[in-house]
Amino acid sequence: MTKVAILIDGGYFLKRLRTVRPTTNREDAAAVCRDISRLVTSHLKQINKIERAAHPRALLYRSFYYDARPYLDKGHLPISAKGIDYAKTDRAKFHLALHDNLRRTSNMAVRLGEVRRDPDSLWELKPSVLRDLLKKNRDFADLTDDDFRPTFRQNAVDMRIGLDIASITLKRQADMIVLVAGDSDFVPAAKLARREGIKFVLDPLWRKVDENLFEHIDGLRSGFPKPQPKPEPKAKA
């Protein structure tokens, strides 16, 4: 019986969630956790159409969720210089709750990297604000704290994905790896897996991928139904 490992790039998953699961409250850690479980189960059901196991979950070696620990230090806002405790922000509370929910999920491993900030560039202008400044629609003197966003940088998340792919492959812990991701950073690890006879399936959550990636994977599919296009606004009479 085929054993399957399902690896989920958490940062990518959360970005795509608005598109593939528009009804999910993305601020509710328990609801997001349930969607992650639905994604895993959906992939197992698709594979089980061929394998015919007694139960789709019998195919699962383990699922893995990769993310970074939230930034929990203190700092100051860029314009007003008011103090901010990142541990008390909604973003930090959400990620802490999500990781805790996932740790309590059966056959789920949570792999966490770190979030760091460059002391020389703690803040950056939001893209829309920068465009307005370049077009001279706004003046620098009018900027407020809300026009900036903190420059969080994830560290060692992609490395953990690559290490797990290599470990699963070389230890023969699974016969198939399903990776939920959207970039090409996984290609070296995918090459290793496929050379060792592991089937490698990519789920980009319905985002279009580079045509060159197809030579490095054995299949492309999504665990969620294809999002329906937004209806075009009706023309005014």
3-class state of residue 6 by DSSP: strand
CA distances from 117 to 9, 51, 154, 156, 176 (A): 21, 46, 9, 14, 36
Q: What is the pLDDT of residue 183?
A: 83
Q: What is the pLDDT of residue 135?
A: 94
The span from the first CA to the last CA of the chain, in angstroms, equals: 61
Mean pLDDT in runs of 10 for the chain (237 residues)? 96 96 96 98 95 91 97 95 96 97 97 91 94 94 95 91 97 97 90 96 94 91 89 62
Classify residue 225 by burial, with Cβ atoms within 10 Å: 0-12, 13-18, 19+: exposed
Tell me the per-residue pLDDT of 13-25, one tens digit each, with 9 for 90 and over. Answer: 999 999 999 999 9
Model pTM above 0.85: yes
- On whether the CB atoms of residues 99 and 70 are closer than 8 A, the answer is no
Give the DSSP letter string of 70-130: PP--EEE-TTT--EEEGGGSHHHHHHHHHHHHHHTSTTEEEEEEEEE--TT--EEE-HHHH
For the domain covering 4-117+152-220, report its CATH number. Answer: 3.40.50
Q: What is the pLDDT of residue 81?
A: 95
Structure tokens at 106: 């059966």
Q: What is the pLDDT of residue 233?
A: 64
Beta strands in 152-217 (DSSP E): 153-155, 176-180, 199-203
Map out the domains of the chain as residue ranges. Answer: 4-117+152-220
